[in-house]
Structure 1
Amino acid sequence: MQNQKGFTLIEIAIVLVIIGLILGGVLKGQEMITQAKIRNVANDLNGVSAAYYGYQDRYRAIPGDDPNAETRWTSAVTVKGNGDGVVTVTPVAPATVAESNLFWQHLRLSGFISGPTNTQTPPTNSVGGITTVQTGAFGLTGLVVCTSNLPAAIANAIDSQFDDGIGTTGQVRGGTTLGPAASDAADYVDDGVKRYTVCKNI
Protein backbone atom coordinates (compact mmCIF):
# COMPACT_ATOMS: atom_id res chain seq x y z
CA MET A 1 0.00 0.00 0.00
CA GLN A 2 1.45 3.40 -1.05
CA ASN A 3 1.65 6.34 1.33
CA GLN A 4 -0.41 9.33 0.08
CA LYS A 5 0.97 12.73 0.96
CA GLY A 6 -1.21 15.84 1.28
CA PHE A 7 -0.30 19.51 1.33
CA THR A 8 1.29 20.83 4.47
CA LEU A 9 -0.16 23.80 6.31
CA ILE A 10 2.80 25.92 5.16
CA GLU A 11 2.14 25.10 1.50
CA ILE A 12 -1.55 25.89 1.86
CA ALA A 13 -0.71 29.19 3.60
CA ILE A 14 1.70 30.16 0.79
CA VAL A 15 -0.96 29.45 -1.86
CA LEU A 16 -3.54 31.52 0.05
CA VAL A 17 -1.08 34.42 0.36
CA ILE A 18 -0.39 34.30 -3.39
CA ILE A 19 -4.12 34.24 -4.20
CA GLY A 20 -4.65 37.18 -1.84
CA LEU A 21 -1.88 39.17 -3.53
CA ILE A 22 -3.34 38.48 -6.99
CA LEU A 23 -6.85 39.51 -5.91
CA GLY A 24 -5.49 42.65 -4.22
CA GLY A 25 -3.60 43.57 -7.39
CA VAL A 26 -6.66 43.07 -9.58
CA LEU A 27 -8.88 45.19 -7.29
CA LYS A 28 -6.25 47.92 -7.05
CA GLY A 29 -5.87 47.88 -10.83
CA GLN A 30 -9.63 48.28 -11.30
CA GLU A 31 -9.64 51.18 -8.85
CA MET A 32 -6.80 52.87 -10.73
CA ILE A 33 -8.65 52.45 -14.06
CA THR A 34 -11.82 53.97 -12.55
CA GLN A 35 -9.84 56.91 -11.12
CA ALA A 36 -8.22 57.50 -14.53
CA LYS A 37 -11.67 57.55 -16.18
CA ILE A 38 -12.93 60.04 -13.59
CA ARG A 39 -9.93 62.32 -14.25
CA ASN A 40 -10.44 62.10 -18.01
CA VAL A 41 -14.14 62.96 -17.81
CA ALA A 42 -13.43 65.88 -15.44
CA ASN A 43 -10.66 67.15 -17.75
CA ASP A 44 -13.04 66.92 -20.72
CA LEU A 45 -15.64 69.05 -18.94
CA ASN A 46 -13.03 71.61 -17.92
CA GLY A 47 -11.59 71.62 -21.43
CA VAL A 48 -14.96 72.36 -23.04
CA SER A 49 -15.50 75.30 -20.68
CA ALA A 50 -12.02 76.67 -21.40
CA ALA A 51 -12.51 76.31 -25.17
CA TYR A 52 -15.92 78.00 -24.97
CA TYR A 53 -14.57 81.03 -23.11
CA GLY A 54 -11.51 81.20 -25.36
CA TYR A 55 -13.75 81.26 -28.44
CA GLN A 56 -15.96 83.95 -26.95
CA ASP A 57 -12.95 86.06 -26.05
CA ARG A 58 -11.41 85.77 -29.53
CA TYR A 59 -14.49 86.06 -31.74
CA ARG A 60 -17.10 87.75 -29.52
CA ALA A 61 -19.54 84.97 -30.40
CA ILE A 62 -20.79 81.67 -29.02
CA PRO A 63 -19.47 78.59 -30.82
CA GLY A 64 -22.30 76.89 -32.69
CA ASP A 65 -24.36 80.09 -32.59
CA ASP A 66 -21.69 82.17 -34.38
CA PRO A 67 -23.40 84.06 -37.26
CA ASN A 68 -20.04 84.89 -38.90
CA ALA A 69 -18.63 81.36 -39.05
CA GLU A 70 -19.14 80.97 -42.82
CA THR A 71 -17.20 84.15 -43.59
CA ARG A 72 -14.50 83.43 -41.01
CA TRP A 73 -13.81 79.93 -42.37
CA THR A 74 -14.50 79.52 -46.06
CA SER A 75 -14.61 75.72 -46.05
CA ALA A 76 -17.61 74.34 -47.92
CA VAL A 77 -18.65 72.37 -44.84
CA THR A 78 -18.74 75.36 -42.49
CA VAL A 79 -22.23 76.30 -41.31
CA LYS A 80 -23.07 79.45 -39.37
CA GLY A 81 -25.38 79.79 -36.38
CA ASN A 82 -28.23 82.26 -36.12
CA GLY A 83 -26.60 84.54 -33.54
CA ASP A 84 -29.54 84.60 -31.13
CA GLY A 85 -27.40 83.75 -28.09
CA VAL A 86 -28.92 80.27 -27.66
CA VAL A 87 -27.30 76.98 -28.70
CA THR A 88 -30.28 75.05 -30.03
CA VAL A 89 -30.45 71.27 -29.72
CA THR A 90 -33.15 70.34 -32.21
CA PRO A 91 -33.15 72.32 -35.43
CA VAL A 92 -36.19 72.92 -37.58
CA ALA A 93 -34.30 71.36 -40.53
CA PRO A 94 -31.90 69.89 -41.52
CA ALA A 95 -29.98 68.08 -38.75
CA THR A 96 -26.66 69.43 -40.02
CA VAL A 97 -27.51 72.90 -38.73
CA ALA A 98 -28.25 71.94 -35.13
CA GLU A 99 -26.20 74.50 -33.20
CA SER A 100 -25.36 71.91 -30.55
CA ASN A 101 -23.49 70.05 -33.32
CA LEU A 102 -22.07 73.20 -34.93
CA PHE A 103 -20.59 74.01 -31.50
CA TRP A 104 -17.96 71.28 -32.01
CA GLN A 105 -17.19 72.23 -35.60
CA HIS A 106 -16.64 75.88 -34.70
CA LEU A 107 -14.33 74.95 -31.81
CA ARG A 108 -12.35 72.61 -34.09
CA LEU A 109 -12.08 75.18 -36.89
CA SER A 110 -10.80 77.74 -34.38
CA GLY A 111 -8.23 75.30 -33.01
CA PHE A 112 -9.60 75.33 -29.46
CA ILE A 113 -10.24 71.58 -29.54
CA SER A 114 -8.73 68.85 -31.68
CA GLY A 115 -10.54 66.75 -34.23
CA PRO A 116 -11.57 66.79 -37.89
CA THR A 117 -12.96 70.17 -38.95
CA ASN A 118 -15.25 68.67 -41.59
CA THR A 119 -17.50 67.02 -39.02
CA GLN A 120 -19.95 68.19 -36.38
CA THR A 121 -19.78 64.93 -34.42
CA PRO A 122 -19.62 65.41 -30.64
CA PRO A 123 -16.50 63.95 -28.98
CA THR A 124 -16.63 60.70 -27.02
CA ASN A 125 -15.66 60.37 -23.37
CA SER A 126 -13.47 57.76 -21.67
CA VAL A 127 -16.40 55.39 -21.00
CA GLY A 128 -17.80 55.36 -24.53
CA GLY A 129 -20.42 58.05 -24.06
CA ILE A 130 -20.58 61.42 -25.79
CA THR A 131 -19.99 64.97 -24.64
CA THR A 132 -22.73 67.36 -25.73
CA VAL A 133 -23.84 70.94 -25.15
CA GLN A 134 -27.34 72.31 -24.91
CA THR A 135 -29.31 75.10 -23.33
CA GLY A 136 -30.68 73.82 -20.03
CA ALA A 137 -30.89 70.28 -18.62
CA PHE A 138 -32.02 68.62 -15.38
CA GLY A 139 -33.25 71.96 -14.04
CA LEU A 140 -30.04 73.84 -14.90
CA THR A 141 -30.45 77.01 -16.95
CA GLY A 142 -28.18 78.56 -19.54
CA LEU A 143 -25.62 76.68 -21.62
CA VAL A 144 -24.60 73.35 -20.12
CA VAL A 145 -22.07 70.70 -21.08
CA CYS A 146 -23.17 67.09 -20.57
CA THR A 147 -21.34 63.79 -20.70
CA SER A 148 -23.19 60.48 -21.00
CA ASN A 149 -22.96 56.73 -20.36
CA LEU A 150 -21.36 57.15 -16.91
CA PRO A 151 -21.62 54.34 -14.34
CA ALA A 152 -23.08 55.61 -11.06
CA ALA A 153 -19.71 55.59 -9.27
CA ILE A 154 -18.11 57.80 -11.92
CA ALA A 155 -21.17 60.08 -12.17
CA ASN A 156 -21.18 60.55 -8.40
CA ALA A 157 -17.43 61.22 -8.34
CA ILE A 158 -17.74 63.87 -11.08
CA ASP A 159 -20.64 65.53 -9.26
CA SER A 160 -18.69 65.45 -5.98
CA GLN A 161 -15.57 66.89 -7.61
CA PHE A 162 -17.41 69.90 -9.07
CA ASP A 163 -20.36 70.23 -6.70
CA ASP A 164 -22.27 68.50 -3.89
CA GLY A 165 -22.38 64.86 -5.09
CA ILE A 166 -26.19 64.91 -5.27
CA GLY A 167 -27.71 64.45 -8.72
CA THR A 168 -30.81 66.53 -8.04
CA THR A 169 -29.25 69.72 -6.62
CA GLY A 170 -26.48 72.21 -7.20
CA GLN A 171 -24.62 73.36 -10.31
CA VAL A 172 -23.89 69.79 -11.46
CA ARG A 173 -26.82 67.44 -11.96
CA GLY A 174 -27.41 64.03 -13.45
CA GLY A 175 -30.07 61.72 -14.73
CA THR A 176 -30.67 58.83 -17.08
CA THR A 177 -31.85 60.79 -20.15
CA LEU A 178 -30.41 63.51 -22.35
CA GLY A 179 -31.74 66.02 -24.84
CA PRO A 180 -34.34 68.78 -24.68
CA ALA A 181 -36.44 66.74 -22.21
CA ALA A 182 -33.57 66.20 -19.76
CA SER A 183 -35.60 67.11 -16.71
CA ASP A 184 -35.61 63.92 -14.62
CA ALA A 185 -32.59 64.64 -12.44
CA ALA A 186 -31.94 61.74 -10.06
CA ASP A 187 -29.55 60.59 -7.36
CA TYR A 188 -26.93 58.10 -8.50
CA VAL A 189 -27.85 54.47 -7.76
CA ASP A 190 -24.96 52.05 -8.23
CA ASP A 191 -26.89 48.96 -9.30
CA GLY A 192 -24.37 47.95 -11.99
CA VAL A 193 -26.95 48.62 -14.72
CA LYS A 194 -27.96 52.28 -14.84
CA ARG A 195 -25.90 54.72 -16.86
CA TYR A 196 -26.07 58.43 -16.14
CA THR A 197 -25.62 61.68 -17.97
CA VAL A 198 -24.03 64.42 -15.89
CA CYS A 199 -24.43 68.07 -16.86
CA LYS A 200 -22.80 71.23 -15.53
CA ASN A 201 -23.01 74.87 -16.41
CA ILE A 202 -20.23 75.99 -18.72
Structure 2
Amino acid sequence: MHHPNFPRRQSGFTLIEIAIVLVIIGLLLGGILKGQELINSARVKNLATDFRNIPMFIYGYQDKFRALPGDDPAASTHVGTTSITPASGNGNGVIDSLWNSTTAANESVLFWQHVRLAGLAPGLTTIPATLPGDYNPKNASGGIIGIQSGTTDAAETPVKGADGKAIGGAYVICSASILGKFVKQLDIQMDDSNTAAGSMMATPTTGYAKGAAATATTAIDDATSYTVCMGV
Protein backbone atom coordinates (compact mmCIF):
# COMPACT_ATOMS: atom_id res chain seq x y z
CA MET A 1 0.00 0.00 0.00
CA HIS A 2 1.33 3.37 -0.93
CA HIS A 3 1.86 5.80 1.94
CA PRO A 4 1.95 9.49 1.25
CA ASN A 5 5.26 11.23 1.94
CA PHE A 6 4.70 13.41 4.98
CA PRO A 7 7.46 15.91 5.86
CA ARG A 8 9.60 14.65 8.71
CA ARG A 9 9.72 16.66 11.93
CA GLN A 10 13.09 18.39 12.37
CA SER A 11 14.94 17.44 15.56
CA GLY A 12 16.66 20.15 17.66
CA PHE A 13 16.39 22.37 20.70
CA THR A 14 13.32 24.41 21.37
CA LEU A 15 13.57 28.05 22.37
CA ILE A 16 12.64 27.10 25.93
CA GLU A 17 15.44 24.53 26.11
CA ILE A 18 17.97 27.03 24.75
CA ALA A 19 16.80 29.62 27.26
CA ILE A 20 17.22 27.16 30.13
CA VAL A 21 20.77 26.31 29.00
CA LEU A 22 21.67 30.00 28.77
CA VAL A 23 20.31 30.63 32.26
CA ILE A 24 22.38 27.74 33.65
CA ILE A 25 25.52 29.00 31.92
CA GLY A 26 24.87 32.48 33.29
CA LEU A 27 24.49 31.14 36.82
CA LEU A 28 27.71 29.13 36.53
CA LEU A 29 29.67 32.11 35.22
CA GLY A 30 28.21 34.33 37.92
CA GLY A 31 29.23 31.84 40.58
CA ILE A 32 32.77 31.60 39.21
CA LEU A 33 33.16 35.38 39.06
CA LYS A 34 31.74 35.81 42.55
CA GLY A 35 34.04 33.11 43.87
CA GLN A 36 37.07 34.81 42.31
CA GLU A 37 35.95 38.12 43.77
CA LEU A 38 35.78 36.56 47.24
CA ILE A 39 39.25 35.03 46.81
CA ASN A 40 40.70 38.39 45.75
CA SER A 41 39.03 40.16 48.67
CA ALA A 42 40.44 37.59 51.10
CA ARG A 43 43.94 38.09 49.68
CA VAL A 44 43.73 41.87 50.03
CA LYS A 45 42.49 41.42 53.59
CA ASN A 46 45.50 39.20 54.38
CA LEU A 47 47.87 41.75 52.85
CA ALA A 48 46.31 44.50 54.93
CA THR A 49 46.60 42.39 58.09
CA ASP A 50 50.37 42.13 57.57
CA PHE A 51 50.70 45.91 57.66
CA ARG A 52 48.50 46.17 60.74
CA ASN A 53 50.22 43.41 62.73
CA ILE A 54 53.82 44.61 62.57
CA PRO A 55 53.27 47.81 64.61
CA MET A 56 51.69 45.57 67.25
CA PHE A 57 54.97 43.63 67.45
CA ILE A 58 56.81 46.88 68.13
CA TYR A 59 54.38 48.09 70.78
CA GLY A 60 54.28 44.70 72.48
CA TYR A 61 58.08 44.49 72.65
CA GLN A 62 58.43 48.06 73.89
CA ASP A 63 55.77 47.51 76.53
CA LYS A 64 57.55 44.42 77.81
CA PHE A 65 61.21 45.41 77.55
CA ARG A 66 61.22 49.21 77.11
CA ALA A 67 63.32 48.73 74.00
CA LEU A 68 62.87 48.68 70.23
CA PRO A 69 63.08 45.22 68.62
CA GLY A 70 66.08 44.96 66.34
CA ASP A 71 67.66 47.95 68.08
CA ASP A 72 67.50 46.42 71.59
CA PRO A 73 71.00 46.68 73.16
CA ALA A 74 70.06 44.09 75.80
CA ALA A 75 68.35 41.57 73.52
CA SER A 76 70.41 38.65 74.82
CA THR A 77 69.12 39.37 78.33
CA HIS A 78 65.56 40.16 77.29
CA VAL A 79 64.84 37.34 74.83
CA GLY A 80 67.88 35.06 74.85
CA THR A 81 67.40 31.37 75.58
CA THR A 82 69.69 28.55 76.68
CA SER A 83 70.23 27.65 73.03
CA ILE A 84 69.92 31.02 71.28
CA THR A 85 71.85 34.18 72.09
CA PRO A 86 70.48 36.89 69.81
CA ALA A 87 72.70 39.72 68.64
CA SER A 88 71.90 43.10 70.12
CA GLY A 89 71.20 46.40 68.40
CA ASN A 90 73.05 49.63 69.08
CA GLY A 91 70.26 51.17 71.15
CA ASN A 92 70.08 54.42 69.20
CA GLY A 93 66.28 54.31 68.98
CA VAL A 94 65.96 53.45 65.29
CA ILE A 95 65.86 50.24 63.25
CA ASP A 96 68.99 50.73 61.18
CA SER A 97 69.52 49.30 57.67
CA LEU A 98 67.11 48.63 54.83
CA TRP A 99 63.90 46.66 55.26
CA ASN A 100 65.11 43.98 52.80
CA SER A 101 68.66 43.67 54.15
CA THR A 102 70.41 40.32 53.70
CA THR A 103 73.10 41.03 56.30
CA ALA A 104 72.49 39.01 59.46
CA ALA A 105 73.87 41.65 61.84
CA ASN A 106 71.64 44.45 60.54
CA GLU A 107 68.87 45.64 62.83
CA SER A 108 66.10 45.20 60.26
CA VAL A 109 67.08 41.51 60.22
CA LEU A 110 67.46 41.28 64.01
CA PHE A 111 63.98 42.77 64.36
CA TRP A 112 62.36 39.48 63.35
CA GLN A 113 64.54 37.40 65.64
CA HIS A 114 63.79 39.64 68.61
CA VAL A 115 59.99 39.69 68.19
CA ARG A 116 59.89 35.95 67.56
CA LEU A 117 61.98 35.10 70.61
CA ALA A 118 59.68 37.41 72.59
CA GLY A 119 56.74 35.26 71.47
CA LEU A 120 55.12 38.09 69.54
CA ALA A 121 55.45 36.66 66.03
CA PRO A 122 55.82 33.23 64.43
CA GLY A 123 58.81 32.15 62.36
CA LEU A 124 62.47 31.17 62.54
CA THR A 125 64.30 32.30 65.67
CA THR A 126 67.76 31.57 64.30
CA ILE A 127 69.13 33.60 61.42
CA PRO A 128 70.15 31.38 58.48
CA ALA A 129 73.41 31.80 56.61
CA THR A 130 71.59 32.80 53.44
CA LEU A 131 68.97 35.53 53.59
CA PRO A 132 66.13 36.07 53.11
CA GLY A 133 65.26 32.41 52.41
CA ASP A 134 62.51 31.37 54.80
CA TYR A 135 63.58 33.87 57.46
CA ASN A 136 61.63 36.96 56.44
CA PRO A 137 57.86 36.58 56.72
CA LYS A 138 55.99 36.22 53.44
CA ASN A 139 52.81 37.92 52.34
CA ALA A 140 49.81 36.25 50.69
CA SER A 141 51.49 36.69 47.30
CA GLY A 142 54.74 35.04 48.42
CA GLY A 143 56.78 38.25 48.62
CA ILE A 144 58.98 39.12 51.59
CA ILE A 145 57.92 41.57 54.28
CA GLY A 146 60.32 43.87 56.13
CA ILE A 147 60.59 46.96 58.30
CA GLN A 148 63.01 49.81 58.86
CA SER A 149 62.93 53.21 60.50
CA GLY A 150 61.65 56.08 58.41
CA THR A 151 63.94 58.76 57.02
CA THR A 152 63.55 62.14 55.35
CA ASP A 153 66.44 61.35 52.99
CA ALA A 154 64.84 60.64 49.61
CA ALA A 155 67.90 58.66 48.54
CA GLU A 156 67.71 56.32 51.54
CA THR A 157 63.96 55.90 51.88
CA PRO A 158 62.32 52.67 50.66
CA VAL A 159 60.14 54.70 48.29
CA LYS A 160 59.50 58.35 47.48
CA GLY A 161 56.28 59.98 46.35
CA ALA A 162 55.35 61.92 43.25
CA ASP A 163 56.59 65.04 45.03
CA GLY A 164 60.08 63.52 45.31
CA LYS A 165 59.90 63.33 49.10
CA ALA A 166 60.52 60.24 51.22
CA ILE A 167 57.50 58.32 52.45
CA GLY A 168 56.62 59.52 55.95
CA GLY A 169 56.41 57.60 59.21
CA ALA A 170 58.56 56.70 62.20
CA TYR A 171 58.77 53.21 60.68
CA VAL A 172 58.24 51.98 57.14
CA ILE A 173 56.85 48.51 56.45
CA CYS A 174 57.35 47.08 52.97
CA SER A 175 55.78 44.05 51.31
CA ALA A 176 57.05 42.80 47.95
CA SER A 177 55.63 41.06 44.87
CA ILE A 178 52.01 42.19 45.13
CA LEU A 179 50.03 42.24 41.88
CA GLY A 180 48.82 45.62 40.72
CA LYS A 181 45.16 44.66 40.94
CA PHE A 182 45.63 44.02 44.66
CA VAL A 183 47.82 47.09 45.15
CA LYS A 184 45.00 49.41 44.11
CA GLN A 185 42.48 47.68 46.39
CA LEU A 186 44.96 47.73 49.27
CA ASP A 187 45.58 51.46 48.93
CA ILE A 188 41.85 52.18 48.79
CA GLN A 189 41.32 50.12 51.93
CA MET A 190 44.24 51.49 53.96
CA ASP A 191 45.10 54.93 52.61
CA ASP A 192 43.98 57.50 50.05
CA SER A 193 43.72 55.44 46.81
CA ASN A 194 46.79 57.28 45.47
CA THR A 195 49.75 54.89 45.23
CA ALA A 196 52.23 57.73 44.73
CA ALA A 197 51.27 59.76 47.80
CA GLY A 198 50.05 59.43 51.37
CA SER A 199 51.15 56.85 53.90
CA MET A 200 51.09 53.95 51.42
CA MET A 201 53.03 53.90 48.14
CA ALA A 202 53.90 51.31 45.51
CA THR A 203 56.82 50.80 43.14
CA PRO A 204 57.65 47.90 40.77
CA THR A 205 59.32 44.94 42.49
CA THR A 206 61.48 44.17 39.45
CA GLY A 207 64.59 46.33 39.64
CA TYR A 208 63.64 47.63 43.08
CA ALA A 209 66.22 49.69 44.99
CA LYS A 210 66.08 52.17 47.85
CA GLY A 211 64.91 55.62 46.87
CA ALA A 212 62.60 54.15 44.21
CA ALA A 213 59.93 56.44 42.79
CA ALA A 214 56.34 55.51 43.54
CA THR A 215 54.01 54.61 40.68
CA ALA A 216 50.82 56.63 40.22
CA THR A 217 47.56 54.72 40.56
CA THR A 218 46.66 55.39 36.94
CA ALA A 219 49.92 53.73 35.84
CA ILE A 220 49.55 50.62 38.03
CA ASP A 221 49.31 47.53 35.82
CA ASP A 222 47.08 44.77 37.19
CA ALA A 223 49.46 41.98 36.11
CA THR A 224 52.71 43.62 37.29
CA SER A 225 54.19 42.93 40.74
CA TYR A 226 54.86 45.86 43.04
CA THR A 227 56.55 46.49 46.36
CA VAL A 228 54.12 48.30 48.64
CA CYS A 229 55.42 50.37 51.54
CA MET A 230 53.48 52.01 54.35
CA GLY A 231 54.70 54.56 56.86
CA VAL A 232 53.44 54.12 60.42
Asked if the contact 1:89/1:98 (under 8 Å) is kept, the reply is yes
* Residue 88 of structure 1, aligned match among 74, 85, 96: 96
Asked if the contact 2:181/2:223 (under 8 Å) is kept, the reply is no
Give 1:89 shift.
2.7
1:69-109: CA deviation from partner (whole Å, max 9, x where unpaired): 1232144352211222222235xx98211211111111100
* Alignment correspondent of 2:222: 192
- 65-74 or 116-125: bigger deviation: 116-125
Asked if the contact 2:181/2:221 (under 8 Å) is kept, the reply is no
Instruction: Return the alpha-carbon distance in structure 2 between the equivalents of residues 20 and 34 of structure 1.
Output: 21
* Alignment correspondent of 2:31: 25
Structure 2 length as normaliser, TM-score? 0.77
Work out whether 1:39 is the aligned partner of 2:67: no
Asked if the contact 2:203/2:228 (under 8 Å) is kept, the reply is yes
SS at match of 1:97: coil
Identify if the C-alpha distance between structure 1 residues 26 and 94 changes in structure 2 by more than 3 Å, giving closer, same or farther: closer
* Alignment correspondent of 1:173: 201
Give 1:3 shift.
5.1
Identify if the C-alpha distance between structure 1 residues 182 and 19 changes in structure 2 by more than 3 Å, giving closer, same or farther: farther
Letter in 1 for 2:26: G
Letter in 2 for 1:54: G
Instruction: Return the alpha-carbon distance in structure 1 between the equivalents of residues 76 and 209 of structure 2.
Output: 27
Give 1:31 shift.
0.5
| Structure 2 unaligned residues grouped into runs of 5+ | 1-6, 129-134, 151-157, 160-165
Asked if the contact 2:102/2:109 (under 8 Å) is kept, the reply is no
* Alignment correspondent of 2:132: none
> Sequence identity, in percent?
42
* Alignment correspondent of 1:135: 149
1:33-85: CA deviation from partner (whole Å, max 9, x where unpaired): 01111111111111111111111121111111111112321443522112222
The structure richer in helix per residue is: 1
Give 1:115 shift.
2.1
Letter in 2 for 1:167: T
Letter in 1 for 2:140: S
Give 1:192 shift.
3.4
Asked if the contact 1:108/1:116 (under 8 Å) is kept, the reply is yes
Work out whether 1:124 is the aligned partner of 2:133: no
Instruction: Return the alpha-carbon distance in structure 2 between the equivalents of residues 49 and 104 of structure 1.
Output: 12
Work out whether 1:154 is the aligned partner of 2:182: yes
Number of paired residues?
201
Describe how 1:106-121 pairs up with structure 2 within 5 A.
106-119=114-127, 121=135
Identify if the C-alpha distance between structure 1 residues 70 and 180 changes in structure 2 by more than 3 Å, giving closer, same or farther: farther
Give 1:4 shift.
4.3
| Structure 1 unaligned residues grouped into runs of 5+ | none
Instruction: Return the alpha-carbon distance in structure 2 between the equivalents of residues 33 and 170 of structure 1.
Output: 27
Asked if the contact 1:125/1:131 (under 8 Å) is kept, the reply is yes
Instruction: Return the alpha-carbon distance in structure 2 between the equivalents of residues 130 and 94 of structure 1.
Output: 12
